[in-house]
Structure 1
Amino acid sequence: MIKLQPHPDAENITVNCAVVTVSDTRNPETDKSGKLIQDLLLSAHHLIVDYQIIKDEPDQIQAYIESISKNQNLEVIIFNGGTGIAPRDTTYDAIEKLLEKTLPGFGEIFRFLSYQEIGSRAIASRAVAGTYQNKIIFSLPGSSNAVRLGMDEIILPEIVHLVKQMQNQ
């Protein structure tokens, strides 16, 4: 399969991001996926303006989104965790209810790429992306392999382009 590269952005900008791990068990020392997201963003010359670990409770997830979205300097929120179908996996449900516009291609491409790595188990991923209050929100599964896949193959190649699209409103 030929991997197509997006057209380069005219100018490289630094994107201000928040990183959120949704977990009932992780803490800053055990949050490998949250650290990986931060490391990949920093390596791409973006900034981390907030980092949180939130319990997998829809009210807490939504309250965080509503609160952090008031930060005028913030452009992107990247969640990891809680995207499966287990009873405690509520990240998708909480985020999806707030999204003003969805980016269905994100979840579709993520699952396609996951399928190539893990086979049919990719159907259980409810990765989602969209916009809320002029912020771009991405939600990835919590595994480090899934985070690396989503960041390397989709988010990092498109983050500047999507932020520029939001600024043209």
Structure 2
Amino acid sequence: MSRIDESRPFHPVRIALLTVSDTRTPGTDRSGDTLAERIAEAGHDLAARAILPDERAQIAAQLRDWIADPGIDVVISTGGTGLTGRDVTVEAHRDVYEKEIEAFGTIFALVSYETIGTSAVQSRATGGVANGTYLFALPGSPGACRDAWDRILKLQLDSRHKPCNFVEIMPRLGEGRPS
């Protein structure tokens, strides 16, 4: 079973946080604030933060800028993962991914089901890797952000988590890429 091995060193990661919304502002971004607080509480560094409208090209461009930045290890977005016509965050992420982490969406759905029941079917949360950087797209509600961070990302972004975690394989994410 998964656990934190206190004998192993903790390695903080640098996380960029993107809120995707046509209406949120820095003063009303409760989901972004929820994630920023949890990132800091876990001992990680908030390397960048932005709010963009639900525009696929703009979202993908921001993701590409952040994965090109050697000071960013992980990008987490919140918002735009639903089913409406303006929900294009998943498509923007997939425009950027080199590899998708298919099980992330599955595990998120299982976690969400425990909280919101069959409404979890409406989420298209996703994860992937590009240019040696992890990318995760979460729904825009504070509750979904709490669930994703507390039950998945907090553990997988902790270098002490066993039996395995995302941090320990970070140095190998770029294997096989052209230099």
Tell me the percent identity: 34
* Structure 2: gaps spanning 5 or more residues: 159-164
Give the TM-score taking structure 2 as reference length.
Answer: 0.89
Aligned counterparts of 2:167 and 2:48: Cα–Cα separation in 1: 17
Deviation at 1:80, TM superposition (A): 0.3
What TM-score results when the alignment is normalised by the length of structure 1?
0.94
Instruction: Give the superposed CA RMSD.
Output: 1.3
The gaps in structure 1 that reach 5 residues or longer are none
User: 1:104 aligned to 81, 88, 102, which one?
Assistant: 102
Residue number among 2, 5, 8 corresponding to 2:5 in the alignment? 8
Query: Residues of 2 paired with 1:70 and 1:122: CA distance?
Result: 33
**Cα distance in 1 between the residues matched to 2:107 and 2:151:** 9
**Distance in 1, Cα, partners of 2:42 & 2:4:** 17
For the residues of structure 2 that align with 1:111 and 1:46, how far apart are their CA atoms? 25
Once residues 156 and 61 of structure 2 are traced to their aligned partners in structure 1, the CA distance between those partners, rounded to angstroms, is 27
Paired positions, count? 166
Give yes or no for contact 1:136–1:163 (8 Å, CA) kept in 2: no
CA distance in 1: counterparts of 2:13 and 2:62, whole angstroms:
19
SS at match of 1:28: coil
The residue number in structure 1 matching 2:168 is 164
Letter in 2 for 1:166: M
Question: CA offset at residue 68 of structure 1?
Answer: 1.5
- Contact kept, 8 Å, 1:75 with 1:163, in 2: the verdict is no
Aligned to 2:69: 71
